[in-house]
Structure 1
Amino acid sequence: MRIVFMGTPEFAQASLQKLIETGHNIVGVFTQPDKPKGRGYKLVAPPVKELALEHNIPVYQPEKMKDGTALSILKELNPDLIAVVAYGRILPKDILELPKYGCINVHGSLLPKYRGAGPIQWSVIDGEPVTGVTTMYMGEGLDTGDMILKKETPIGENETYGELHDRLKEIGAEALVETIGLIEQGKAPREKQDDSLSSYAPMLDKKIAKLDFNKPAQQLHNLIRGLSPWPVAHTTVGGKLLKVHRAVLSSGKGEPGAVIDNKKFIVACKEGALELLEVQMEGGKRMKGEDFLRGRKPERLGD
């Protein structure tokens, strides 16, 4: 089967790696254009491009998908199937209908919940106990296509978005290979999504990263986990920004925002308390909460 792979970040790189390892015929890779990064704004290639070039797979980076350029390339490649994983581009109808077996997608949630760009982050922020990946046939809607396979996994009590992302990218890669195998055998199931059960997971915005200790500790704990490693939850100490990379639920009472233990860096919330395990002062290095307290003795946070 001739396969065109479309993807951009590390989450997609894992799926491409698995397709290569399992001997699938990848005739081309589509990924987003290189982007400037760092102080020198040097152009950096997406992880998927780097992997494809290592294996001498042709790479295409169209600026747009609707101007006919991508369609022309795809007609020449003549894929039987297009596999899409975190590509970051919406495919127009003429591309969706081009391959013999259609276009399939790996999505980082148990659809129809958490459609959109930030499914892994929001599943953590919302305190979900279970998540997973879904493979599906792609349609014109946003993550609304018929489902093929679902793979569930529990979310750890203290698991961060970054940690869950790294687990799900491997689960997604396995699911993609299994899905392609079912399609090749003509045995792929097709289940319509129940739109009444759907929810939307938008791209993260730094505006949600500020910690409000007038909220329950559990809610803040979930927010901290869901925003690690980016954009990182934060509060303030003496008017300066303090990033909170990791925390755990703790016990104790006090005014919301008050530091109620100067050895373990425990902060009172509206309900319960949080122990801040890893923090980073504005302009400083990431450190353990207890080490931070050796140099400072703040009475409260969020002032």
Structure 2
Amino acid sequence: MNIVFMGTPEFAVPPLEALHSKGYDISLVITQKDKRRGRRKKLLPTPVKEKALELGLEVYQPDSVNEKDTINRLIEINPDVIVVVAFGQILKKDLLNIPKYGCLNIHASILPKYRGAAPINWAIINGEKETGITIMEMDEGLDTGDILKVERIPIEKDDDSISIHDKLSHLGAKLIIQVLEEMRMGKIEKTPQNHELSSYAPMLSKETGRIDWNNNGNNIINLIKGLKPWPSAYFIYNGDSIKIHKARIEDRLNDEENGVVVKVSDEGIYVNCKDSTIVIEELQFPGKRKMKVSEYLRGNKFPTNIKLS
């Protein structure tokens, strides 16, 4: 089976590795342009490009996947299937119609819930008890195509967006192999989505992570878990945005108003919220590495009875 693979971030690497290890003919890997990252703004390849080159695969990085040169190149390759995983561009009709068996997308939610760019994050932020992978036949809509396969996993108490990302990435790799095998045998079944049950998972921004201490404790903890590693949940202290990397919830310590620091110890920074107290265990100041509160307090002080915003 002749396959073109489209993907960009680390999430797409295990599916690419799985396709290669199973012996599929990957004619071309299309990924986004190299970008400048980090404090030094060094030009870096995408994780998919790095892996593809390591596997000896041909890589193509167009400005737009829908441009004429890309379309012509894909027509020449004449793929049976295009596999798309977190690619980062919308595929238009001319491209979708090229492969014999269509374009298949590995989406990190149980569609039709959480269509869009950040399904893992929003499932955790919203306190969902489960999530999963959907293999979908792409159409011109945003994650609206027919469903080919779904598998669910629980969101455990200790899970965050990093752990769920890794679980779903490997689950997607397993399921795309199953779907391609079923397709080869002519046993594939398509299920239209119920659009009335759809929800949207929009792109994240830094402002998404600002904590509202008037919220309840579970919602704040879910926000912290759901925004790792970026953009991170944060609060404002002395004009600086302080990121929270780890926290827990405890019974409310006193009747101080929401957002007030009621206790500071090696165990954490205790902040009142609507119905409980949030204990901040790991934080990160601007320009610094993340650290445990106990480590921070060895050389610094954090006051009590102040109100965070």
Q: Work out the CA distance in 1 between the residues paired with 2:292 and 2:37.
A: 28
Q: Work out the CA distance in 2 between the residues paired with 1:281 and 1:49.
A: 33
SS of residue matched to 2:12: helix
Q: Which residue of 1 aligns with 2:196?
A: 196
Q: TM-score w.r.t. structure 1 length?
A: 0.96
Correspondences of 1:264-283 after superposition (within 5 Å): 264=267, 265-283=269-287
Q: CA deviation at 1:301?
A: 4.4
The structure-2 alpha-carbon separation of the partners of 1:123 and 1:164, relative to structure 1 and needing over 3 Å to count, comes to same
The structure-2 alpha-carbon separation of the partners of 1:296 and 1:141, relative to structure 1 and needing over 3 Å to count, comes to same
Matched, 1:38 2:42: no
Q: CA deviation at 1:152?
A: 0.6
Q: CA deviation at 1:72?
A: 0.7
1:298 to 303, 306, 309: 303
Q: CA deviation at 1:284?
A: 2.9
Q: Which residue of 1 aligns with 2:134?
A: 134
Please say if residues 131 and 153 of structure 1, whose CA atoms lie closer than 8 Å, have aligned partners that are also in contact.
Answer: yes
AA in 1 matched with 2:234 = H
Structure 2's unaligned 5+ residue stretches are none
Q: CA deviation at 1:291?
A: 3.2
Please say if residues 117 and 202 of structure 2, whose CA atoms lie closer than 8 Å, have aligned partners that are also in contact.
Answer: yes
Matched, 1:25 2:25: yes
Q: Work out the CA distance in 1 between the residues paired with 2:58 and 2:289.
A: 41
Q: CA deviation at 1:97?
A: 1.0
Q: Which residue of 1 aligns with 2:121?
A: 121
Please say if residues 158 and 248 of structure 1, whose CA atoms lie closer than 8 Å, have aligned partners that are also in contact.
Answer: no
Q: Which residue of 2 aligns with 1:206?
A: 206
Correspondences of 1:1-303 after superposition (within 5 Å): 1-253=1-253, 254=255, 255-263=257-265, 264=267, 265-294=269-298, 295-299=300-304, 300-303=306-309
Structure 1's unaligned 5+ residue stretches are none
Please say if residues 260 and 308 of structure 2, whose CA atoms lie closer than 8 Å, have aligned partners that are also in contact.
Answer: no
Q: CA RMSD in A?
A: 1.4
Q: Deviations over 1:11-44 (max 9, x none)?
A: 0111101111111111111111111223443321
Please say if residues 261 and 308 of structure 2, whose CA atoms lie closer than 8 Å, have aligned partners that are also in contact.
Answer: no
Q: Work out the CA distance in 2 between the residues paired with 1:292 and 1:39.
A: 23
SS of residue matched to 1:277: strand
The structure-2 alpha-carbon separation of the partners of 1:22 and 1:301, relative to structure 1 and needing over 3 Å to count, comes to farther
Larger mean Cα displacement after TM superposition, 47-56 or 134-143: 47-56
Larger mean Cα displacement after TM superposition, 73-82 or 135-144: 73-82
Q: Work out the CA distance in 2 between the residues paired with 1:91 and 1:180.
A: 20
Q: CA deviation at 1:293?
A: 4.1
AA in 1 matched with 2:284 = Q
SS of residue matched to 2:72: helix
Please say if residues 80 and 100 of structure 1, whose CA atoms lie closer than 8 Å, have aligned partners that are also in contact.
Answer: yes
AA in 1 matched with 2:273 = C
Q: Work out the CA distance in 2 between the residues paired with 1:226 and 1:92.
A: 31
Q: Work out the CA distance in 2 between the residues paired with 1:101 and 1:24.
A: 15
Q: CA deviation at 1:275?
A: 1.4
Q: Work out the CA distance in 2 between the residues paired with 1:237 and 1:108.
A: 35
* Equivalent residue pairs, number: 303
Q: Work out the CA distance in 2 between the residues paired with 1:283 and 1:61.
A: 32
Q: Work out the CA distance in 2 between the residues paired with 1:260 and 1:159.
A: 28
SS of residue matched to 1:262: strand
The structure-2 alpha-carbon separation of the partners of 1:150 and 1:88, relative to structure 1 and needing over 3 Å to count, comes to same
Q: Work out the CA distance in 2 between the residues paired with 1:266 and 1:216.
A: 14
